[in-house]
Amino acid sequence: MKENFTNESKNKWTRIFKKKWFFPALYIMIAAFLLTAVVWYQNIESKLIEGLDDNEQSDSYSQNPFDEEAESVLQQQEIIKMPVHDEVQTEIVTKFYDYNAEQEDQEKGLTLYNNRYYQSTGIDIASSDGDAFDVVASLSGTVTEVKEDPLLGNVVVMSHGENISTYYASLGEVEVETGAKIKQGDKIGTAGKNLFSEESGTHVHFEIRKADVEVNPEDFFNEPLSKIEELDVDAKVEEPSSDEQETDRPDSTEKEEEKPDSEDVDKEEEDSEDVEDEDAEESQNLSFSIIA
């Protein structure tokens, strides 16, 4: 029985092999399998090549010498913003002292310190409720200086190329370090208080400088950075001499003028009295000689 079943299976495969369509069909199946394998291998190879090309392009892009120039062009198009977030309600409590402004505006640009008035070289910005607030970068740039000043509080200076810099003083806390690359709107610190502008309360003192010459920040808010680059600071109106008004901030190491010693004053008074007595005696002798 088992042998009969084996013989029938062999006969069945023999009949299939003798069919005219069997071997062509077998060849087609093998060819299709080989073709699928070749296509699959080519796809894998092409993906590997594309990955290598992407890496080479990224490397070449990072080393592109024109990247800095492109970044500079984008920065020129950057709009100058106030150093606070838009949602924070703030006001300018001290203005930039402008020699060509009206007297009322000039008075708003004066800072009283140690019984003397100083002309403001920037603006003081405070919140409407008097609370502290975050101070952010007005422009993208590089932090060039971070220091603590006895009169002005914590100070941060940023460079933006083309001899343009921004100056942030009276900071309570500082969140950046020297050399850091900062994007516009990034947090620099928080508003604080200082000795020089006590009347401004909690505030940030903000300045814009071109070639170390202070300009009025309010003239450049919501304007492109290129407007400052085009500014000719050499043509700035000549400021009055220091004999007419105080122009600079007091130096944090400035000493008060020494008061004369009381003993010296008494000595000077005694000397003046002796001189007056001698003059009186001479005049009296002269009158006697005339009478004689």
pLDDT in tens, 143-188: 999 999 999 999 999 999 999 999 999 999 999 999 999 999 999 9
- What is the pLDDT confidence band of residue 32, given thresholds at 50, 70 and 90? confident
Structural contact between residues 122 and 207, judged by C-beta atoms closer than 8 angstroms = yes
pLDDT value at position 38?
A: 83
For residue 226, pLDDT over 60 is answered with yes
Structural contact between residues 208 and 225, judged by C-beta atoms closer than 8 angstroms = no
Structural contact between residues 118 and 151, judged by C-beta atoms closer than 8 angstroms = no
pTM of the model: 0.61
Cα–Cα nearest to 110, from 255, 246, 213, 242: 246
* Tokens 């009055």, residue located: 240
CA distance 103 to 124: 19
Q: Cα separations (Å) of 251 from 42, 84, 192, 226, 237?
A: 75, 28, 20, 33, 25
**Residue 238 corresponds to which amino acid?**
E
For residue 192, pLDDT over 50 is answered with yes
The CATH code of the domain at 90-235 is 2.70.70.10
Of 201 and 27, the one with more pLDDT: 201
Mean pLDDT over 102-119 rounds to 93
Burial 231-252 (b: 16+ CB within 10 A, else e): beeeeeeeeeeeeeeeeebeee
**Summary mean pLDDT of the chain:** 78
Tokens of 205: 């003192």
Express each pLDDT in 241-284 by its tens digit. 444 444 455 655 443 334 444 444 454 555 555 545 555 555 44
- What is the pLDDT confidence band of residue 17, given thresholds at 50, 70 and 90? low
For residue 117, pLDDT over 60 is answered with yes
Structural contact between residues 136 and 82, judged by C-beta atoms closer than 8 angstroms = no
For residue 113, pLDDT over 50 is answered with yes
CA distance 78 to 94: 26
**Residue 290 burial class via C-beta count within 10 angstroms: exposed 0-12, middle 13-18, buried 19 and up:** exposed
CA distance 154 to 94: 18
Burial 49-86 (b: 16+ CB within 10 A, else e): eeeeeeeeeeeeeeeeeeeeeeeeeebbebebbbbbee
Mean pLDDT over 64-68 rounds to 52
- What is the pLDDT confidence band of residue 199, given thresholds at 50, 70 and 90? very high
Please give the backbone phi and psi of residue 116, each rounded to the nearest 5 degrees, phi first: -135, 145
**Domain segments of the chain as ranges:** 2-58, 90-235
For residue 67, pLDDT over 60 is answered with no
pLDDT value at position 122?
A: 97
For residue 197, pLDDT over 90 is answered with yes
Span between the terminal Cα atoms of the chain, in Å = 187
Express each pLDDT in 76-96 by its tens digit. 589 999 999 988 999 999 999
